[in-house]
Amino acid sequence: MSARRPVFVHVGSSKTGTSALQHGLWESVDALAAAGVGVPFVGRQEHIQRLLRPLGWEGGRGFTRDVDLPRVRSLVEVLRSTPGDRLLISNEDLAECTPAQVTAFSEVADAAGLDVHVVLTARDWAKQLPSEWQQFLKHRLTTDYPTFLDEVRDRSGAFAEQYWMRQDVLDICTRWGAGLEPDRVNVIPVPPMRVDPDHVFRSFGSVVGYDPAVITLPGFDVNASFGYVEAEVLRRLNLALGKRLPDYRADYLPAIRRTLVQKVLARQASARLTLPPEHLGWVRELAEQRMAEVTARGYAIHGDPAMLVPGPDAAAPIPELDEAEVAASAIKTLADFAVRIHKKGASGGAGSGA
């Protein structure tokens, strides 16, 4: 009987350098293969079509559908036939899997002769809360930032609950670690990019078992955040759209997210968002509780768990929103959007921005 291989499943969290890491992984598939690491799904779209959708995932909403068992079970041969001493899957949406979806994947991995090892990259919530508010704006969120913070604190509303599913380290480890030995659940605390931009690449390679030097690092910021003004423009655009472009995948994704958000709306042009001081207390208390429990359970922590607890100086007042700046940013965005659409039309591209 052949030895069982490990499959390392990087389940998130979102906004922990996952986009940059995955860009490096997809650009280095051949080098990873030479190092004995097999990658069964290459690129985000392949993860979506072959893994997420069969597990019940829906763009902009998460895992809202039932598991498609025949499609999931068809992955057994895909995983079994992928060469390598170990396999690697990376997709931050997997953090939101319910126990039923985790079980479905685990059964497929077991049938393919694989032992699941979970990898979770995590950052403290003083950084995650403003980053995730901006990320949810790309999913049609219309809630303003101060209200979003209140709703997350109170776990009130669908987006707040989705935030907890995506960012609660203990809960993610509990769902994905069910039935696993604790040392097969790996948590990587990630410092700010400005402090150590290569940290996540080094730690991730060490956990999975390959030399990080084989990865081609992206030479640009793959998923940079917006400034507060630009984020507010997007929020108000979502409000103005109302019920128009109702189908997220067919309408909103090509028209707004792929075109206006990714190609037109300026990034980091205005003041960056912060966690306001009035929210630091509960965020620090929660982080200390979570890290104590993660440590007590014996999960493998690769780095300093204190990095996941915001320091006493981690908060700062939210920048003031100047209505004139918001209006100027909106007009510039509209002008740049018109130019882009014209150039795409002149070159024969689809006006909808597919």
pLDDT at site 116: 98
Q: For residue 227, which of 263, 262, 269 has the smallest C-alpha distance? A: 269
Average pLDDT across each block of 10 residues of the chain; the chain has 354 residues. List them in order: 87 93 96 98 96 93 92 97 98 96 97 98 97 95 98 97 97 97 98 85 96 85 79 96 93 91 84 96 98 97 95 95 94 92 71 35
Query: Rounded to the nearest 5 degrees, what angle is found at the Cα of 297, between the Cα atoms of 96 and 208?
Result: 60
Six-digit token string for 242: 């109302």
C-alpha distances (whole Å) from 33 to each of 40, 87, 214 are 11, 10, 10
Tallying the residues shown for the chain, one arrives at 354
Partner residues linked to 189 by β-bridges: 122
Domains of the chain, start order: 5-124+161-223+275-308 (3.40.50), 228-272+322-346 (no CATH)
Cβ 195 vs Cβ 123: under 8 Å: no
Per DSSP, the residues of 80-115 read HHS-SSEEEEE-GGGGG--HHHHHHHHHHHHHTTEE
pTM comes to 0.93
Cβ 326 vs Cβ 228: under 8 Å: no
Cβ 19 vs Cβ 222: under 8 Å: yes
Q: For residue 123, which of 15, 281, 272, 276 has the smallest C-alpha distance? A: 15
Q: How many Cβ atoms sit within 10 Å of the Cβ of residue 191?
A: 17
pLDDT at site 62: 87
Contacts of 194 (CB under 8 A, 6+ apart): none
Taking every pair of Cα atoms in the chain, the longest distance, rounded to a whole number of angstroms, is 70
pLDDT at site 224: 67
Task: List the alpha helices (DSSP H) in 35-186.
Answer: 44-47, 69-73, 75-81, 99-111, 125-137, 145-154, 158-167, 169-176
Partner residues linked to 122 by β-bridges: 189
pLDDT at site 354: 29
Six-digit token string for 352: 């909808």
pLDDT at site 225: 79
pLDDT at site 220: 58
* Terminal CA-CA length for the chain: 48
Dihedral sign from CA coordinates of 30, 36, 40, 44: negative
